[in-house]
Amino acid sequence: MEKINSGLLANEKKVKSGLIAISILIPVVVAVLLFMPTKIGSGVEWVYFLPHLNAVINSAASVALVAGVIFIKNKNIAMHRAAMTTSFGLGAIFLVSYVIYHGAAESTSFGGEGWIRPVYYFLLITHIILAAVALFPILFAYYYGLTDQREKHRKVVKFAFPIWLYVTVTGVVVYLMISPYYIH
């Protein structure tokens, strides 16, 4: 681990440039997949399981995030790192699953009516906006934590944690609200 950390620190400028590029590239790819007129692998039935899996992944990520905060407040750095690495890994798995699903499946329309409709769209829109910007502070918070740059880590986490938690929790809520309208 020390070797990885020293390697990252020695190439910090390149690493940060890479993190910025990833923070821009991933939301662009997701937007393209969401709005492309013809889906890749259209008719692939197994992908319709992925939204359910994504909700489970987001739920687990939310639990890991909260556990990470509890661990750090109790000064248990090893368990904090484990919880945050778990959440980070779950986020990566979620992202792959999300891209596969939206690359292959048509979007589902929300069928709710009345007061629930604006609630759903408020949650969905804030979720999408914050998910698009969340990657930047999350990647930097994780990098600073990984390289033991604690002061920088603390500064970034003040933004990264609430955004990340909001995105994981609202992802599950939005899923629960739209799941009755899935075609498959």
Domain CATH code at residue 49: 1.20.120
For 132, other C-beta atoms within 10 Å of its C-beta total: 17
pLDDT single digits (tens) 79-93: 999 999 999 999 999
Domains in the chain, number: 1
Task: Indicate the helix (H) or strand (E) that contains 100.
Answer: helix 77-104
Global pTM value: 0.85
For residue 127, name the pLDDT band (cuts at 50, 70, 90): very high
Contact criterion met (CB below 8 Å) for 164 and 140 = no
Q: Give the residue-averaged pLDDT of 119-139.
A: 94
Q: Give the residue-averaged pLDDT of 94-98.
A: 92
> Please, which residues have CB within 8 angstroms of residue 183's CB and are 6 or more apart in sequence?
48, 106, 108
Who has greater pLDDT, 9 or 108?
108
Q: Give the residue-averaged pLDDT of 36-54.
A: 79
For residue 61, name the pLDDT band (cuts at 50, 70, 90): very high
Contact criterion met (CB below 8 Å) for 121 and 174 = no
Determine the structural domain holding residue 33 and report its residue range. Answer: 2-181
N residues, the chain: 184
Contact criterion met (CB below 8 Å) for 8 and 147 = yes
Q: What percent of the chain has pLDDT over 90?
A: 66
Whether the CA torsion 23, 25, 28, 29 is positive or negative: it is negative
For residue 53, name the pLDDT band (cuts at 50, 70, 90): very high
| Segments of the chain assigned E as strands | none
The DSSP call for residue 40 is T
Q: What are the backbone dihedrals phi and psi of residue 62, each rounded to the nearest 5 degrees, phi first?
A: -60, -45
